[in-house]
Chain A
Amino acid sequence: MNNILEANQVVKQYGDYTALNHVSLSVPKGSIYGLLGPNGAGKTSLIRIINQITMPDSGEVILDGEKLNPAHIQMIGYMPEERGLYKTMKVGEQCLYLAQLKGLSKQEAKNQLKYWFEKLEIEGWWNKKIQELSKGMAQKVQFIVTVLHKPKLLILDEPFSGFDPVNANLIKDEIMELNKQGTSIIFSTHRMESVEEMCDYIALIHKSNKLIEGKLTDVKKQYRTNTYEVGVLSGNIEGLMYDLTQKFTLTQTDFKSLNDELKLDINLGNATPNELLNILIQRGQVTHFVEKIPSVNDIFIKTVSEK
């Protein structure tokens, strides 16, 4: 079994409203899996089903080769989008309590806590109450609580919201390290740049349906348009433009450069990059030649607005 998590035809309805409509997913072991979708798409419903907070109306979820059962609770670490801790409870006590609820013994929990408190340099917080901490500090505690019991699967809902850039980076590094050690991670977020940077698989859910799923590079290949971003210095711009418009579709574009060149997006259609290059080289000096790879953001907006 190479998938840590598989969802097969999961359906969830609240009264007349369908939150998930026959959604199937497979999350490969050891991957960082981006679960994308606009607000209200059904991401949280799916995450809650995986966490056994609610039950699917039909369909099944398979975790690490077994049908979802109460023992799986220990295998999952879940950080909900709406963070929450007991405000008047002391940090250390609270972490111990939540860890024990996840099935750790008191001693184990203490050892793990010591490790994480040292690692994130927050040893001095043990006897502080959550309400004395800033939002970012509380987020750190929340992260520790989520990973404390060494889950095989981490589900992080908007993990970077509320962190300043320094701490966001710190947490990102921790997540990457956990991933390297073998933890699979499901990542639900609206921050496309972090998906771009971290995820190797993505799925897009929109209006209760799964629209896209796959390896990030595969999805991108599927959405590539064979468009190149080109910069060229030419003495005969009119001639060059004439040649190009004969064969390709052009749009004016802009990118940062030190030259005052002609900047174009050129859609090749069925032609090859070399055919384009030939024309460009004949007419001028090529300073910039890059395939326009669709960003996750583009794919997201395109897919969501199409439907």
Chain B
Amino acid sequence: MSKTALIIKREFFAKVRNKSFIVMTFLSPLLFVGIAVFVGYLSTMKAEKKTIAVHDESGLFFSEFKNTDEYHYLDASKTNLSVLKDSIINESYEGLLAIPKSDNTNVWQNKIEYISNDSPSVTFIEDIEDVINQKLTTQNYIHNNLDTLAIKKSKSDVSIHLQKATGEEALKGLNEIKIAIGGAFGYLIMMFIVIYGNMVMRSVIEEKVSRIIEVIISSVKPFQLMMGKIIGTSLAGILQFLIWAFLGITAMFILSSVFGVQMGTTSGVQSQQAIEAAKSTMNSDMQMYIKELWNLPIATIIISFIIYFIGGYFLYSSFYAAIGAAVDNETDSQQFLLPIIMPLILGVYIGFFTVINDPHGTIATVFSMIPLTSPIVMLMRIPFGVPAWQIIVSMVLLFATFFLVVWFASKIYRVGILMYGKKPTWKEMIKWMKY
């Protein structure tokens, strides 16, 4: 077995046998599901019921307010306003809606008050305003002798249908789906780089701190050690992702079969038809979405994902390895890590804000060429259809930079692993390249 292969093997097993790796691999999906369930539970939790006293001198509006799960409206038109205000201070009611008597719409528009000790939510106020507006508008129609029924009838509700030049029907929200797919892959690459890049760095620091480094590099070249470490760690990472994917698919399979069975047995004959009907309307939409998804350049997406994954991960983990070699402990690494994490975050932001609005605009195109951001940004662009030459240029740039960076990183690495005791500066690290 070649020495590099030996190193890859050791690094792989050192990572995989580590307790924290095993715990992370099997616990984090549970944690993930747990958090999702918890958030879901929180969102279903009902808020405390709040009573709103309505002091409606006109008597026109109270009947328009419908009680909801959250808000209960109480007719307090007969009670004295100052008494009501006192009870707000005593917190008997959540709030007081005071509508004065008037014949003039303009007065109403500006004189209605909401009194509360707590600041109300924006949606709540907007809801109240809607109710009052609607009532007032209708009042105005009547006041001006307009036929309210005719007005209702003449209201229109436009829904624009999207179509491609080929005549195929297009779907709304497809952009969101595309960015979601590209974004998922891009985000995956970023997470992988941050997690496993850090692991590479920690493993370099560990060898340095435990001083085994000198024993090892009297047997192998520093470059072999660095590459072996990067590859071995990435294999452990890929294994972890594969396990997660396997667990996820298994869980989905189990869940769907369990729920499928339940659906068949519990639904009665009457609802069966309703379900069928719902299914058929949903199906036509779903089918179109699924068709659209199949029309995405799936092969291109997957192949480029693999290539950008390899290129991006190797590029960044060489940085991480060089940083690990330059410092004596993890605390010192922070100042060097920031410039590395910045382009990654930038890539994700550009992806989610720029690419979705203008997938082929200048900014998106430029950042999908720059090697430090291209693995993320280009992957987000690909579902929107990117000309092949752009992908090729971007990949060539990425791998050219990768070789350059590996070369420099291995120089810093070679010197750094034997340097102890002082925190290097950027200037010194550049000097090391010349040794």
Q: Which residues of A are in contact with B by a Cβ distance under 8 Å?
A: 14-15, 48, 51-54, 73, 76, 78, 80, 82-89, 97-98, 100-102, 142, 145
Contact = CB atoms under 8 A, between A and B. Distances in A.
Given A100-B1, A101-B3, A86 B212 contact: yes
A82 B10 contact: no
Given A100-B1, A100-B6, 6 more contacts: A48-B418, A53-B217, A80-B214, A80-B218, A101-B3, A101-B6
Nearest to A76: B218
Given A53-B217, A73-B219, A76-B218, A97 B6 contact: yes
Contacts of B217: 53
Given A80-B211, A86-B212, A97-B10, A14 B219 contact: no
12 contacts: A15-B435, A53-B217, A53-B218, A76-B218, A78-B214, A80-B215, A80-B218, A85-B210, A86-B210, A100-B6, A101-B3, A145-B215
B431 interface: yes
A48 B418 CA distance: 10
Given A51-B218, A53-B418, A84 B212 contact: yes
Contacts of A52: 218
B97 interface: no
Interface of B: 1, 3, 6-7, 10, 14, 18, 206-207, 210-220, 418, 431, 435
A82 B214 contact: yes
B431 A102 contact: no
B6 A78 contact: no
A53 B413 CA distance: 12
A76 B206 CA distance: 25
B153 to A, nearest CB: 79
Nearest to B13: A93
B214 A53 contact: yes
Given A86-B14, A101-B220, A15 B431 contact: yes
Nearest to A53: B217
B218 A84 contact: no
User: Which of A80, A84, A89, A97 has the most B CB atoms < 10 Å from its CB?
Assistant: A84
Contacts of A86: 14, 206-207, 210, 212
| Residue of B3, B18, B210, B435 most packed against chain A (CB within 10 A) | B210
Nearest to B213: A84
Nearest to A74: B219
Contact of A83 (B211, B218, B418): B211
B214 A84 contact: yes
A85 B18 CA distance: 17
User: Which of the listed residues B7, B215, B220 has the most CB atoms from chain A within 10 Å of its own CB?
Assistant: B215
Lowest 4 CB-CB distances: which A-B pairs, in order? A84-B211, A84-B212, A101-B219, A51-B218
Nearest to B6: A100
A84 B215 contact: yes
Contacts of B215: 78, 80, 84-85, 98, 142, 145
Contacts of B207: 84, 86
Contacts of B206: 86
A45 B220 CA distance: 18
A148 B249 CA distance: 49
Contacts of B218: 51-53, 73, 76, 78, 80
Contacts of A102: 219
B6 A84 contact: no
B326 to A, nearest CB: 15
A100 B216 CA distance: 11
A82 B418 CA distance: 11
Nearest to A79: B215
Contacts of B6: 97, 100-101
A48 B215 CA distance: 11
B307 to A, nearest CB: 32
- The interface centre, meaning the residue of B218, B418, B431 with most chain A CB atoms within 10 A of its CB, is B218
Nearest to A106: B1
Contacts of A14: 435
Contacts of B219: 73, 98, 101-102
Nearest to B9: A97
A102 B215 CA distance: 10
Contacts of A88: 14, 18
Nearest to A50: B218
A301 to B, nearest CB: 27
Contacts of A84: 207, 210-215
Contacts of A83: 211
B14 A89 contact: yes
Contacts of B7: 101
Contacts of A101: 3, 6-7, 216, 219-220
A101 B219 CA distance: 6
Contacts of B216: 98, 101
Contacts of B10: 97
Contacts of A48: 418
Contacts of B3: 101
A152 B23 CA distance: 46
A97 B10 CA distance: 8
Nearest to A130: B210
A80 B144 CA distance: 100
Nearest to A149: B219
Contacts of B418: 48, 53-54
Which of B14, B210, B214, B217 gathers most chain A CB within 10 Å?
A: B214
A107 to B, nearest CB: 13
Nearest to A70: B221
Contacts of B14: 86, 88-89
Nearest to B3: A101
A76 B217 CA distance: 12
A88 to B, nearest CB: 8
Contacts of A80: 211, 214-215, 218
A51 B214 CA distance: 10
Contacts of B213: 84
